[in-house]
Amino acid sequence: MTGLRRFVAAAGAPQPHRCELCAQPVPGEEHGHLVDLTDRAIVCACQACYLLFTGDGAPGRRYRAVPRRYRYTARLPISEATWDRLAVPVGLAFFFHSSQVDGPVALYPSPAGATESELDAASWRELVAAAPELTDLAVDTEALLVNRTDGADLEGFLVPIDACYHLVGLLRTRWHGFTGGPAAQQAVGEFLAELRTQAERSTPAPPGEQHRASTGRSGPPSAPAGTAGASPAGASGARAADTAGASPAAAGSVGGRR
């Protein structure tokens, strides 16, 4: 019986996080993530594997490293009409530049997962012109997250793409009824508060660390604790950050895949 108890205890013990490329153990939530462009998934990576897919070597490969950059503005300088033309049916959505479609994609969290919304190209260009410091996104790996859940001004976040899919996972697991319920609303509120804090507590990043969407490069991955830098505030008062570690919470999956 003693031997059986040991076997049962071992089977029920929590399994360590591992790199999904080389199977090396990685530390809890403080590890990097990669975007798998083939399977449209977020995968965990050790530091060595993560570094293989940063910088100039990333374009054209299956994987891209998710950067560690956060920016925030309490008020996006876009009109009500522009937001309406973006045709997003809810007050919380994220936009990213997809190499698969060679253009911007709009998604919003829902009880069924990340749901794609048809994006009006002219309105997207207007948004880019109004808030360039939040729409200068690394291809496939960074997103503009827009919040208007309280019906007030639009607030915007430039965040690692894994943070957006973590938000999708939060809503899927906490959604109840037709409107989501108090648990889902509380989860969204806490998540956005953490993003604001993440942007506020960072310091300037070293030159050359940020790789822009215009060059097809991605930058380093992101973390909730510890900081490595923030770039200067943008023209509309956005706060910027490049941080060391994992994103504000462990990433979920693209389209529900873990």
Query: What is the model's pLDDT at position 59?
Result: 55
- Which of residues 28 and 158 earns the better pLDDT score? 158
Whole-prediction pTM value? Answer: 0.72
Query: What is the model's pLDDT at position 110?
Result: 84
Taking 50 as the threshold, does the pLDDT of residue 103 lie above it?
Answer: yes
| Mean pLDDT of the 152-179 span | 88
Using the Cα atoms of residue 105, residue 111, residue 112 and residue 118 in order, give the sign of their dihedral. negative
The 10s digit of each residue's pLDDT in 80-92 is 788 888 888 788 8
Measured CA to CA, the distance from residue 250 to residue 162 in angstroms comes to 8
Query: What is the model's pLDDT at position 201?
Result: 65
Choose the weakest-confidence range: 35-39, 85-89, 185-189, 226-230.
226-230
Taking 60 as the threshold, does the pLDDT of residue 258 lie above it?
Answer: no
Taking 90 as the threshold, does the pLDDT of residue 158 lie above it?
Answer: yes
Nearest to 66 by CA among 97, 93, 94, 44: 44
Taking 80 as the threshold, does the pLDDT of residue 56 lie above it?
Answer: no
Query: What is the model's pLDDT at position 230?
Result: 29
**Domain boundaries of the chain, sorted by first residue:** 68-250
3-state secondary structure of 142: strand
**Percentage of residues of the chain with pLDDT beyond 90:** 25
Average pLDDT, the chain: 73
The 10s digit of each residue's pLDDT in 37-46 is 988 899 999 9
Using the Cα atoms of residue 154, residue 155, residue 161 and residue 166 in order, give the sign of their dihedral. negative
Measured CA to CA, the distance from residue 36 to residue 254 in angstroms comes to 9
Q: Where are the beta strands (DSSP E) in 27-121?
A: 32-36, 41-45, 63-65, 69-73, 92-98, 103-110, 113-117
